[in-house]
Structure 1
């Protein structure tokens, strides 16, 4: 396993399927590795598809800065204070165009919306994810968009009841890829939609620029298609062994799986070289 240069100043890691164990927890080994990296002056930034409302679970491991990049780059959040620092929202017009285009090409699709006040969904959008049962608005997408109940939203979610997950991603991009960034990270037929140009990579690049950190000083970890842009941007990138085949093919450096503390294994070796 090859590690990065000692010039590393920032570790950018996805959470689910990458840093976290299968149960969504941080192992003792991984927690210790992250703390050691921070103590050595290496900033650790979580870059995740999770919405801000799902971040309290990992708050103890967030590092001294307290900041995470959420919703595939759509939001920068101070996790400890529960404060949205910056967001890159979709316009109401863009969301309506996306919904219209996908309904026309993908009958049966249903939508949900992550926005600064929480989340909302259509009645047909099934509740399957952790945290979905919190209080939220339920109404047709067009109604939620028209009356401003999802204003400032930084991620649209879309599910399909029958399509294979990768097929759904390809079809969603064909229908609305000219209107937004469309990706996936879940094992079910669910895609995640952000404003054009907004990805994990774009927001991480902006964050690093503000910190005076060059891309060559960044080590990134990921496992799913929503990580691909970040992994391509960072100077040194790793795919965990359990990653999606497209990610494993795109990234030359691999580590062991999330359940075997793949991120920690690389971080420990990096620190040993320092």
Structure 2
């Protein structure tokens, strides 16, 4: 593992948040980054998040998880109560369990993505996230939290034609045999002009959003509404879906267990998610006086 200093004395891509641009926002991915492998927030990380909030820093979770998977981290959400979900496809008030905003794919693009992948990558199965629910094809696997839920199940084309399945802000595409990175590359080649393709799972599961929608785009909008600039943001991540956010933030860290592409693209590394890597950086930031008061 390569570990750089957790002191933000220089920026991801050269220079850190200076005193004139005081640190304001901590933006962190959840699974594989903030959360331990068992899905929990460790006591040390809980303490670090609370200390950062007391110092006036704003913590925002920026995750590939859909809104319906956020209840387990609701007690750690911070004062604002908002999470950026589905790789930027949705903004969700976790405490009120209310979708605040979503950025859907155009229906024609969603259908075209399905048709392209089905034609060029046979065996691909699809699922869809939208404001009123979740639907999937018959052979799409039950994954973790979905196993006991009730969903509409039908072929993708039928689901996309149903009136209740509208405003899709995330398509999931699963393949039973392809290497995950190869699946992502080939899917982008097949339909990359129609949507944004990324991945965050260890299996061949792609996450597809509307063109221009990413963790970075929605985080930037959320920060702008609060008068915060990219230089005032420290971001943490581990998988390809985090790359836009890590590139946008003024200071960016990859955890030690991150995907090789993320480690290569990110100048600062911290310990892995099971070793409280995010907490280590937050503790150092606070020791060095990087509070919202600057």
TM-score range relative to shorter protein? over 0.9
Match of 1:87 in 2: 102
**In 2, Cα distance between the equivalents of 1:23 and 1:131?**
17
SS at match of 2:144: coil
**In 2, Cα distance between the equivalents of 1:91 and 1:232?**
26
**In 2, Cα distance between the equivalents of 1:246 and 1:169?**
13
Q: TM-score, normalised by structure 1?
A: 0.98
Deviation at residue 130 of structure 1 after TM alignment:
2.5
Deviation at residue 145 of structure 1 after TM alignment:
0.6
Match of 2:292 in 1: none
Judge conservation of contact 2:45–2:276 (CA < 8 Å) in 1: yes
Match of 1:2 in 2: 6
SS at match of 1:50: coil
Return 5+ residue gaps in structure 2 as ranges. Answer: 9-16, 290-294
Match of 1:41 in 2: 56
Is 1:24 aligned with 2:28?
A: no
SS at match of 1:97: helix
> Deviation per CA, 1:62-89, whole angstroms, max 9, x where unpaired?
0000000000000000000001111101
Give the paired residue count: 274
Structure with bigger RCO (C-alpha 8 Å, 6+ apart): 2
Q: Could you tell which deviates more after superposition, 215-224 or 149-158?
A: 149-158
**Which of residues 243, 249, 252 is equivalent to 2:258?**
243
**In 2, Cα distance between the equivalents of 1:35 and 1:155?**
31
Judge conservation of contact 1:74–1:198 (CA < 8 Å) in 2: yes
Deviation at residue 127 of structure 1 after TM alignment:
0.9
Judge conservation of contact 1:54–1:131 (CA < 8 Å) in 2: no
SS at match of 2:146: coil
> Deviation per CA, 1:85-124, whole angstroms, max 9, x where unpaired?
1110112111101001111100000000011112100001
Return 5+ residue gaps in structure 1 as ranges. Answer: none
Judge conservation of contact 2:6–2:285 (CA < 8 Å) in 1: no
SS at match of 2:126: strand
Question: What is the root-mean-square deviation of aligned Cα atoms in Å?
Answer: 0.9
**Which of residues 148, 164, 169 is equivalent to 1:133?**
148
Q: Could you tell which deviates more after superposition, 62-71 or 122-131?
A: 122-131
Q: Aligned pair in 2 of structure 1 residues 241, 99: CA closer, same or farther (>3 Å)?
A: same
Q: Could you tell which deviates more after superposition, 175-184 or 130-139?
A: 130-139
Is 1:153 aligned with 2:168?
A: yes
Deviation at residue 8 of structure 1 after TM alignment:
1.0
**In 1, Cα distance between the equivalents of 2:146 and 2:36?**
18
Match of 1:107 in 2: 122
**In 2, Cα distance between the equivalents of 1:144 and 1:90?**
15
Match of 1:260 in 2: 275
